[in-house]
Structure 1
Amino acid sequence: MTGRVCDLGHLMPVDEAISRLLDLAPPPPLAQKIGLDQALGRVLAADIHSPVNLPAWDNSAMDGYARRAADLPADGGCLSIGGRIAAGDSACSPLLAQQAVQIFTGAPLPPGADTVVPQERCRIDGERVWFPPVNAGDHVRKEGEEVRRGDLLLQAGKRLRAQEVGLLAGAGIARVEVYRPLQVCLLSSGNELREPGDSLAPGQIYNSNRYCLAALLSGWGVEVHDYGVMADELAASRHALSLASSECDLLLSSGGVSVGEEDHLKQAIEELGSLDFWRLAIQPGKPLAFGEVAGKPWIGMPGNPSAALITALVVVRPFLLRAQGVKDVLPVPLAVPAGFDWLQRNKRRQYLRARLTPGVDGQLSVELHPQQSSAMLTAACWADGLAVIECEQQVLKHDNVMFLSFADLMH
C-alpha cells in the first residue's frame, strides 16, 4: 500500500457522516416485556443480572465414574462401585471412602466426589472399577464457574441472538424487557419505476430497491411499512410523506436525492420539515439527504441499486441500530491480504464487491468482482462482503485490505 494524501474538496468523509447521523438518531422506542420465544433480534432495554449460579451445582462433564481423588495413589487403582447417578436425579448420598459411583453427563456430583473419569478409560471387574492415573478435578463442572448469582449476564443495548436467548433460558429467565420495534416507512421515488411482473414501456425499470431495502430493514429488526412508489407530483409526495410521518418513527426513501434533480420529493420535504443535502466521499454512492418530516427523521438514499445497497449497509445501518437502542453499531472489519492490484486513485472511499477465497495453503485472500458498477446488483450477489479502499489508496497484491462481511452488515 502506497502513502496517500486525501483532498476531499467539498465531499463529506464517510466516518463524519456516520458520526453526524448517530448524533441525530432519535431515542429508542418505549420498552415492553416479552417472552423468550419472541426475543430473537430484539434489543434489551435494561441490564440483566443472573438470578442463579451456572452451573447450579457441581456436575459431571462426561459419562463415567465419580470418585475422590485422594482415595487412590497417583498411578491409579481399584474402587468398589457404590451406585449410579443420572442427569435429573435430585438427591445424592455422600460418597463413601474407597468407593466410586457411575455417573452420566450433567448429573450432580455426590458430596465428597471431586473427580470424574470417562468410562472409556475405566475397566469394570464385577462390582469394582479400575482407574488409570488421573488429575484431581478432571471433568467436573464446578458450581458457578460460568456465571455467579448476581453477575451481569447481558447489558442494555444488546441485540439478542440465538446464543443470548439460550443463555437467558439457561438462567431461568422467561421474560425480558426490550425496546418496541422501530417503525420505518420505506418509499421509492421515480416515475420510471414499475413493479416486478408488470410490463415495461421504453424508459421504465423494475423497482429493485423497494424489495432489497425492505429485506435489509427486516434483517435489522425494524418493522417495515412499505409505501411503494410516490407519484412525482407535489401533492402526491406531500400526502405520502405526511401520512408516513404520522404512522412511523422514521422515513427512508431511495431516488431523487441528487442535487439538481427535478423531483417533487425534495420540495414536499422542505414544506413539511427540513432538508439537508450531503455529498459523501463514498463510491458507489455520494448523494445522501437527511431531514425531518413533521418531526420524524428522514433519510434519502441514491437510486442506483448498488449505491443504495452500500449506502444503506455502511451509513444508514448504524443510524437505524442506534435508533433501536443498540449500543455497538459499527461493524468490525477484518484485515485480509488482497488477491488483486488496485492502482487507480480515487478521492472517495471505495466499497468494492468482494469475496474471501482460500488459497492452496489455506490462507484467505480478498478477490474482487470484475464489475463494480453502482447500477448492478450481480456483483453483490456474487460477493460475501466489501473490500474497503481508502481515499487515494493504491493496493498491491498481498497488501492487507479491510474487509466487511455481509454476514455482519446484514444483521
Structure 2
Amino acid sequence: MAQLSDDCFAFGAPLMPIDDAVAHISSRLHPVEETETVPLQSADRRVLAADITAPIPLPPFTNSAVDGYAVRGDDLPQTGERAFPVERRVQAGMSPGQPISEGRAVRIFTGAPMPDGADTVFMQEDARLEEDGRAILPPGLKRRANVRPAGEDVAVGKTVLRAGHRLRPQDIGLIAALGLTGVEVWRRVRVAVFSTGNEIVAPGQIRGPAQLFDSNRFMLIAMLARLDCQVTDLGILNDDPAVISQSLLGAAAEHDLILTSGGVSTGEADHVKAGLESVGSLVFWRVAIKPGRPVAMGVVRGTAFIGLPGNPVASFVTFAHIARAAIQALAGERLSPQFSIPVRTAFSYRKKKGRREYVRASLRKAADGSYEAVKFPREGAGLLSSLVETDGLVEINEECTRIEPGQTVDFLAYPSLI
C-alpha cells in the first residue's frame, strides 16, 4: 500500500471550495500498488489497470445486417424490377461458400458472412419470390446497403477502453466480443468503517431511551459496496481514546482508507480526535458545501482517514463529493465530472454566496412534457426520509444566491452520485 505523509491533507485557506477539495484529494492520493487479472464474470465495477486494445476487428468479417437476398452491386436493378435466380442460402455461422455468380442472388440471413463478390442485400420484405424460385428485386437500392463491413464497429488495434475506466456491463460485452477472457484491474480498495459514541447502538440491540440506532455506518457500507470496495466493518468503538487508537492502528495496517461519520469534531471531549491524534495527524476542512460541516481528514501510519459529518444527509452528500473522490483516486479510476441534467425548478430558494448547496428534490413531468424539480417540504440534515422520498439533488453553485420557480438548474440523480 502507498504510504501518505502526515501533512498531505494540510490546507491553508479558511474555506475550501468543493472543487478544490476534490483536486486536493486526487493530487495526493494514488492508486493501490497491486493489480490482478480477473475473469469477465467478475469484472463488473472493477477499474482497469491497463488499456484494452482490439486484437480483432468488429465485426470480424463482412456480414448481412438483415434477412434478405445478397447480390453484386453491378447487378442492381436500375429502372425496373429484375428477377434473380437464387443459387443457395447462407445462414449465420455458415461458410459463405464460393463467390456469387453474375446475375444471381444468395438467400442470406442476419449475421451471415457475405459471399465474395456480393456487396448489397435486399431486405426480404422488399423482395417477391416467384414459384420457380426466382427472387424479384425492386430498383432504387444503393450499393452496399444493409451490409456491415468488417471493422465497422471497431478497427483492429484500436484502444477500446482506457486504464482508469470503471467497467460497466456494456464494456464487458465489448471485451467478450473481442475474444478476451480476462482483464487486468487494480486491486479493490480496502476500507475500514466504524462508528463511535455511547449515544448509538447497533440495529437489533436493546436501545436506551436516549439512544439512536446506528444508521450511518450501514449507509456508508452500502455506498462503498457500490464502488466495489472491500469493506471491513469495525462496528461501534467504545468512547475510549486508547481503544480507538489501537483500533485505528490495526485498521491502518490492513486498509487503504479508514472511514467514519460523526464523533470527529473540534470539541474537547472528542475521543476519536484524541485517539487519532495520538497515532497520526488530523486536519479539519471547512468545505464550502451545504448540507455538510467540517470534514475531518487524517493520516494514520500512512493510511488515509476521513471523518464525515454525523447528520445522515450531510454524511451522504459529503461522501458523494469527498469520500467518493478519495476512493476513486485510490482505485485508480479517472475522475470525471458528475453527470447532471438540466431541469426546471418548481420552488423558490435563498442561499448565501460562496457556498455550493444541494437541495433534495423529486422530479415530476410538467404539462409541456419537460421535467421539473420539486423540493422536499422539510429542511434538516438529519431527515433520512428526505433522501428516500426524493430522486436526487438540485445543485446550486457558489455564485447563485436565489432560485425562482421556472429557473433552469442542474439536477444530480442519486444513481450518478454513488
SS at match of 1:225: strand
**TM-score, scaled relative to structure 1:** 0.94
- Residue identity in the other structure for 1:115: T
Amino acid at match of 1:197: G
Q: Work out whether residues 265 and 273 of structure 2, in 8 Å CA contact, stay in contact via their aligned partners in 1.
A: no
Evaluate the alpha carbon distance shift between residue 231 and residue 208 of structure 1 in structure 2; reply closer, same or farther with a 3 A threshold. same
Q: How far off its partner does 1:346 sit?
A: 5.8
The change in CA–CA distance for 1:353 and 1:29 in structure 2 (over 3 A counts) is farther
What's the counterpart of residue 104 of structure 1?
A: 109
CA distance in 1, matches of 2:368, 2:396: 26
What amino acid sits opposite 2:397 in the alignment?
A: E
**Alignment-derived partner of residue 10 in structure 2:** none
Match of 2:52 in 1: 48
2:413 pairs with 390, 399, 405, which one?
Answer: 405
Partner of 1:129: 135
Letter of the 1:408 partner, please give it: S
Aligned partner (choices 388, 399, 404) of residue 396 of structure 1? 404
Q: Which string of whole-angstrom CA distances, capped at 9 and with x for unpartnered residues, describes residues 363-388 of structure 1?
A: 11222111231001111111221101
Q: Which amino acid aligns with 1:398?
A: G
User: For 2:379, what is the secondary structure of its paired residue?
Assistant: coil
- Contact 1:352–1:372, Cα closer than 8 Å, also in 2: no
Residue in structure 2 matched with residue 77 of structure 1 by the alignment = 82
User: Is the counterpart of residue 238 in structure 1 residue 245 in structure 2?
Assistant: yes
Higher mean Cα deviation, 44-53 or 62-71? 62-71
- The question of whether the paired residues in 2 share the 8 Å contact of 1:115 and 1:137 is answered with yes
Q: Distance in 1 between matches of 2:353 and 2:201?
A: 34
1:227 corresponds to 2:234: yes
Larger displacement relative to structure 2 (354-363 or 186-195):
354-363
Aligned equivalent of 1:214, options 203, 209, 221: 221
Selected match of 2:29 from 21, 25, 31: 25
1:164 is matched with 171
Which residue identity is paired with 1:139? N
Aligned CA distance change for structure 1 residues 240 and 168 (closer, same or farther; 3 Å) = same
What is the CA distance between 1:361 and its match in structure 2?
1.8
**Quick check: 212-221 or 381-390, which moved more?**
381-390
Q: 2:254 aligns with which of 244, 247, 256?
A: 247
**In the alignment, what sits opposite 1:303?**
310
Equivalent positions of 1:53-72 (< 5 A) are 53-72=57-76
Aligned residues of 2:48 and 2:164 also touching (Cα < 8 A): yes
Instruction: Note if contact 1:29-1:182 (Cα within 8 Å) is conserved in structure 2.
Output: no
Contact 1:321 1:329 in 2 (8 A): no
Q: C-alpha offsets along residues 304-340 of structure 1, whole Å, 9 cap, x if unaligned? A: 1111111101221112111100013431322222222
Structure 1 portions without partners, runs of 5+: 1-8
Hey, what does 2:6 align to over in structure 1?
A: none
* SS of equivalent residue, structure 1 residue 156: coil
Contact 1:305/1:375 (<8 A) preserved: yes
> What is the alpha-carbon distance in structure 2 between the residues aligned to residue 346 and residue 210 of structure 1?
32
Determine which of 299, 317, 323 is the counterpart of 2:330: 323
Q: Which runs of 5+ in 2 are unaligned?
A: 1-12
Hey, what's the Cα distance between the residues in 1 that align with 2:264 and 2:353?
A: 22
CA shift at 1:280, angstroms?
1.5
Check conservation: 1:29, 1:324, Cα contact below 8 A: no
Equivalent residue for 2:38?
Answer: 34
Q: Following the alignment from structure 1 to structure 2, what is the Cα–Cα distance between the partners of residues 401 and 314? A: 19
Q: Aligned pair 1:141/2:145, yes or no?
A: no
Which residue does 1:114 correspond to in 2? 119
Match of 2:203 in 1: 196
- What amino acid maps onto 2:169 in structure 1? A
Would you say the 8 A contact 2:71–2:121 is kept in 1? yes
- 1:14 maps to 18
Query: How far apart, in 1, do the equivalents of 2:66 and 2:161 lie?
Result: 29
| In 2, Cα distance between equivalents of 1:19 and 1:408 | 19
Equivalent residue letter for 2:116: P
Q: Is the 8 A contact 1:384 1:407 kept in 2?
A: no
Aligned residue among 64, 71, 88 for 2:93? 88
Distance of aligned partners of 1:71 and 1:91 in 2 relative to their CA distance in 1, 3 Å threshold: closer
**Post-superposition shift, 1:212?**
0.5
Q: Is the 8 A contact 2:295 2:309 kept in 1?
A: yes
Task: Report the equivalent of 2:283.
Answer: 276
Amino acid at match of 1:46: A
Q: Runs of at least 4 residues of structure 1 off by over 3 A?
A: 343-347
